[in-house]
Amino acid sequence: MPLTLAWIALLFALASALLPLLCGNRNRAIKTIAFLLLGLAGLAGIAGGGLALLQGASYNLTLPVGLPWLHSHLHLDPLSGFFMVIVGLVTVVAAVYGPAYVREYEQGPQFLLPLTIFTALFVLGMDLVLLAADAFTFMLGWELMSISGYMLVVYQHQHERNRSAAFIYLLMSHVGALLILLAYGVLAGFGDGFDFTHMAAAQLSLGWGSVAFALALLGFGIKAGLVPLHVWLPEAHPVAPSHISAMMSGVMLKVAVYGFIRFTFDLLGEVHWSWGLIVLLIGCASALLGVLYALMQHDLKRLLAYHSVENIGIIYIGLGLSMIFASNDLPGLAALGLVAALYHSLNHALFKSLLFFGAGAILQQSHEHDLGKMGGLIRGMPVTAGCFLIGCISISALPPFNGFVSEWLTFQAALQGTALKSGILGSLIPVAAAVLALTGALAAACFVKVFGVAFLGQARSKQSLAAKEAAPGMLIGQGILALLCLVFGIFPTWTVGVISNIPLMLLGVGLPEATAGGWLWLTPVGAQTASYGAPMVLLGICLAWLFVYLRLHPRRRKTSVQVGATWDCGFGPLNARMQYTATAFAMPIRRIFQPVWPIEERIEPETAENPGGGRHLKVGDWAWQKIYLVIGRVLLASAKRAALIQGGNIRVYLAYSFVTLLFLLWVIV
């Protein structure tokens, strides 16, 4: 039944891509059919993946298609089922949110049909990656996902920014795909087969295992957005349609995480401690640098893209801890680190999709990307503001929402570093915990800035002042995700108990002690070590708010409160220019961490086009300037030198061919 439901999800996604072709230019019919079938694909994926995860069983199917010497192998187990649930959840919400959101594209220069077709193929590719059990089927799904993503990013191709971002995304996607293919090639060479069963049986030396691991880390790391391989994220996410940005950030990055977990924990065999240390360090760098770069952004979707880098870093911190513990014969702690990473993968998919859906509603109604031109949106968009606030609290890892639970589990795994015999590892893991704590504090500061500047205060532009609430479908989609953020935050014990089937399959041990206290208490290591009662925390917060309301609400006070004009320092009535800006809010952090960014800052003089002057601030990315631009210059210089051999003389070209033929004959003979 689970594998059948997964097959149905694939068929619905394929139908969502093909059936709208019969609708011609009737946009209403295209939207109805495409998003309805897409929602059914998501529901089938949730059902099939959820059953496989709950049952803890594996299902296999071999199809007589593919290469002549390699049939297509499909496999559904708790790991792939868990990620199918993630894909299905966000897909269903996107199907609810999408019809109202894409109205703005109906009157644009592009047809709506390509957007719906490639959205469906995007989901189909992700589901196929999760079900693949051989390298050929995996790469087929991977390339389908990547190419569909490129078509979605470049959808509004009349804008140069879209074309540039799509090119960067496609280039890095193919480089990553090549590295993944080479990693599978190493396993296939020693396992005498391209299906995952043969690869898992391969006997690798430490050297070849390290080569395969490095290739997989780089290949999957490009798609996941690890530092310094992250540069495509802040370019692609801001220009893609917002429901696509939500699916790319909330889901596609998790497919890359799935690929890395499958390769490392399932196919590669025994994990070496040095691999875990590398993953831990890269995860720490991604988490800290991601949130620092996010703090400096003023484009709302670009800011959210950098927070995806941060949260992927947190996931890889959990994976690194799991690998270190597994290599040191501590399977229980390894299971804890893996569960923390998986739980955060689920949580990030929920709250990051919620934030991107909220950003889409803001952009659609205010037509503003820049935080500096927003403000006061809570008046015209109260429901969106409430849902966005829940997303901000969740991503800031504050209770009682879901982001707190997974980061708390990651902390609990890091605090068990004293169980390691190695003094070096035991001293590095607390540093990783400190980095995680700093990351959480900076994330909270960043989203105080985002919510305060965008929704509170006075409107900074006419568009923000005129903004109205989004369409009901968009609000329902945001409401579903906001509710799920609360549900997975207050019932973590049940969630951890279900996710524990995955380390039970991969590591041979689950987390029985985590659920020993019942549904009320989460005890990941033991009740004596640490416990978290999410329902009790929620009850305490509700009682505290009730106390504040009863004691401080003006209607409850015995003495009247006098209301007067705000002291305005003699400058007249308050206006939007007197408010804190996003730049001013982040300035103290920019001064403290100034070496992290290449900063260009200057005072602009007053001109006719810019009355009153202003401050120009441009915050760059060191990875882009020090790595990718350098590589680009080297490639361009090499291409210019190689062009010298093109003399335009046919006799020279014949001489090249003759010399090459002689060389090949000499080598072969």
CA distances from 408 to 148, 341, 448, 523, 546 (A): 36, 11, 21, 11, 27
pLDDT digits (tens, 9 = 90+) for 309-325: 999 999 999 999 999 99
Q: Which residue has the higher pLDDT, 603 or 494?
A: 494
pLDDT of residue 407: 93
User: Whole-prediction pTM value?
Assistant: 0.91
Structure tokens at 353: 């999709």
pLDDT digits (tens, 9 = 90+) for 394-421: 999 998 899 999 999 999 999 888 888 8
Q: Is the pLDDT of residue 594 over 70?
A: yes
DSSP 61-113: EEEEEEETTEEEEEEE-HHHHHHHHHHHHHHHHHHHHHHHHTHHHHTSSS-SH
Separation between Cα atoms, residue 498 and residue 494, nearest integer Å: 6
pLDDT digits (tens, 9 = 90+) for 252-287: 999 999 999 999 998 988 888 899 999 999 999 999
569: three-class secondary structure by DSSP: coil
Q: Is the pLDDT of residue 494 over 70?
A: yes
- With tokens 């709506």, the residue in question is 112
State the average pLDDT over residues 478-493: 93
CA distances from 127 to 76, 138, 151, 532 (A): 11, 10, 18, 34
Separation between Cα atoms, residue 302 and residue 370, nearest integer Å: 10
The three-state (H, E, C) secondary structure of 333-382, written as one string: HHHHHHHHHHHHHHHHHHHHHHHHHHHHHHHHHHCCCEHHHCCCHHHHCH
Nearest to 379 by CA among 278, 436, 454: 454
Beta carbons within 8 Å of 474's beta carbon, 6+ residues apart: 97, 100, 101, 357, 360, 361, 364
pLDDT band at 191 (very low <50, low <70, confident <90, very high): confident
pLDDT of residue 520: 82
- The answer to whether 48 and 5 have CB atoms below 8 angstroms apart is yes
pLDDT of residue 563: 67
pLDDT of residue 487: 93
- The answer to whether 252 and 402 have CB atoms below 8 angstroms apart is no
Identity at 119, one-letter amino acid code:
T
Structure tokens at 606: 């007053």
